[in-house]
Amino acid sequence: MALFGTSTKEDSFIRQLKLQAEKTVNCIEFLEKNLDSITDATIKEKKKLIDEVIEIRMVLMDDLHNTFITPIDREDIYNISISLFEMAYFSLTTLEEMFLFEVKSDEFIKAMIEKVKMEATEIYKAIEKIMRNPRVAYDHLIKVTKMETRIDRVYRDAVKILLRDKEKLASDLQRILHTREIYRHISNMSDHARVAANVLGMALIKLS
């Protein structure tokens, strides 16, 4: 049950969501930074970041089990946390798949990841503003929705260009399929940003 007020526990939930959102941004920044130099060491370092996200989420879930007094609905907190974790985890598996399939980054991969990073940043800003400036928070969520639409457009353009050369499709099918899988993976990461924005939007409506 969501209650208004300024108790320490209420502030703690928002603070933990903000921290998880910030770590999610860090994970995507790490992905962006290392696109052209993925190694075993890079992936191990990325897994440490994911472990930090898991730790934050475990504390948040434990607090949810220990109290019914939350700044927004418990279900909303849970679902926002899940979506943020999925974004962070997809940033790890994108690195792993690019390394495994030996896929080189291209303009489409870089463009989509840059936009996913912007989505994560807007979600962080929305969480930061959700209690004190709900209208400003909503504006940040609108930006997430717009960015997700742009990522979908880049994804469709990338797949169209990837598959349009019939000669390459016949001679280099494995590389093309692996590259398409990376495009799809990044698009799915963006889908989780949209889910987080939708849940945050519902939380704002409940608070109004």
Q: For the chain, what is the domain count?
A: 1
The DSSP secondary structure of 77-125, one letter per residue, reads HHHHHHHHHHHHHHHHHHHHHHHHHTPPP-HHHHHHHHHHHHHHHHHHH
Closest CA to 195 of 148, 160, 150: 148
Question: What pLDDT, on a 0 to 100 scale, did the predictor assign at position 161?
Answer: 94
pLDDT higher than 60, residue 94 = yes
User: Domain with 56 in it: what CATH number?
Assistant: 1.20.58.220
> Within a domain: residue 165?
yes
> Structure pTM?
0.92
Sign of CA dihedral 123, 128, 131, 136: negative
Cα 22 off chain centre by? 10
Question: What pLDDT, on a 0 to 100 scale, did the predictor assign at position 81?
Answer: 98
Mean pLDDT in residue range 135-149: 97
Full residue range of the structural domain in which residue 90 is found: 8-207
What is d(CA 27, CA 44) in angstroms, rounded to the nearest whole number? 13
> Within a domain: residue 72?
yes
Render the burial of 98-115: b for 16+ CB within 10 Å, e for the rest: beeeebebeebbebbbeb
> Within a domain: residue 2?
no
pLDDT in tens, 34-80: 999 999 999 999 999 999 999 999 999 999 999 888 999 999 999 99
